[in-house]
Amino acid sequence: MERNQMLIEAEELLTKLGDGNIRIYDASIVDDMYQQGHIPGAAFFDHEKFSDPDKAYEYMLLPDEELAARIGEVGISNDTEVIVYACGMLPYAARAWWVLRYAGHKNVRVLNGGLSAWKNAGGTVEQLPRRYEPAVFHPEFSPGMFADKEDVMEALKDSNISVVDVLPLESYEGAHITGSTCLSAMDLMQGLDYFLPDEKLALRLQEKAGYSRIITYCGGGIAAVINAMAHLMTGQENVAVYDGSLFEWMGEGLPITGTGKWEIWKQPSQ
C-alpha cells in the first residue's frame, strides 16, 4: 500500500479543512487532550467505545456487527474521507486507522505528525467539542488484519511467519512471547509523532522482508499497529496485529520468556 494512501501531511489537510465530506477524529487515548485543543471540527475517537467491554483485557476489538454499527454512529459512512490523528502519540491514531481499515473503510489516513504538525503548519485549534451526525456504514471485514492467541500459537510453529514484539528491547527482555523476536516501534518513528520516511522504514524492516506473514504485538494491541502499518508501507501486505497482545497472552498463562521484571513492560502497552 502506498504511503500517501495511509498518511496525510498537515499541509494537505489544511487545504481540505471545511470540506463537508471529511470526518476528522482526534484519537488521543484520553479526552482531556482533545478538550485542551483539537483541529477545528474534529470529533473525539473514543477507543473505549470501539473496545469490547465483555473481554477481560483492555482495548480488544468489538464484535464485527457492533463495530460496524459504532463506526456509523460516530458519523462515518463508506463515502466519507476520514482523517485520524493524535496528540503526541502516533500509535493511538494508527490503532484507529487499523480498526477502520479492518472494517472495510477504503479512504482513511493518519495525520503524520499529529496535532504538533498541524500547529507547525499554521493550523489553528479549538476547544469546542464536536460530533458528526450518525451515518450508515456497510462493512467489508478483512479478518487477516487481526490475529488471536490461537493464530499466534500456530504461527510460532511456522518458520515462514514472524511474530514480533514491538516494545523496547528492555521490555522484550523482561517478558515476551516465547519464540517471538523484537523490533521496537520506537525505531520506526521520529519521536512519537511521525513515521520515518519509506527508505528508512525499509532499511529497519529488511530482516523481516523474507517472511510470508508478520504478526505484531505489544502490551495491549496499540503500539503493534505502528510496525504493522510500516510493513504495509514497505510492501508486506500479509500483516496482522495480535489484538490481545501480552495482556491476554500472560493472562491466559501462555509461554513467556524473560527476566521477570514485569514493571519494565507494563508501562508502554499502548
Q: What is the pLDDT along the chain (270 residues), one digit of tens a residue?
A: 999 999 999 999 999 998 999 999 999 998 889 999 999 999 999 999 999 999 999 999 999 999 999 999 999 999 999 999 999 899 999 999 999 999 999 999 999 999 999 999 999 999 999 999 999 999 999 999 999 999 999 999 999 999 999 999 999 999 999 999 999 999 999 989 999 999 999 999 999 999 999 999 999 999 999 999 999 999 999 999 999 999 999 999 999 999 987 554 443 333
The domain of 123 spans 3-141
Q: Are residues 154 and 116 in the same domain?
A: no
Choose one of 122, 141, 160: the last residue of a domain. Answer: 141
pLDDT score at 265: 42
Which of 71, 100, 218, 224 is labelled catalytic?
A: 218
State the Cα–Cα distance between residues 141 and 258, nearest whole angstrom.
36
pLDDT score at 267: 39
DSSP 206: G
Q: Is residue 81 classed as helix, strand or coil in its secondary structure?
A: strand
- φ and ψ at 161, to 5 degrees? -115, 135
pLDDT score at 262: 56
pLDDT score at 240: 98
Choose one of 97, 123, 141: the last residue of a domain. Answer: 141
State the Cα–Cα distance between residues 62 and 71, nearest whole angstrom.
11
* Cβ atoms within 10 Å, residue 186: 15
User: Which residue in this structure is represented by grid cell 496482522?
Assistant: 240
User: How many separate domains does the chain show?
Assistant: 2
Q: Are residues 193 and 251 in the same domain?
A: yes
Q: Are residues 114 and 73 in the same domain?
A: yes
182 is catalytic: no
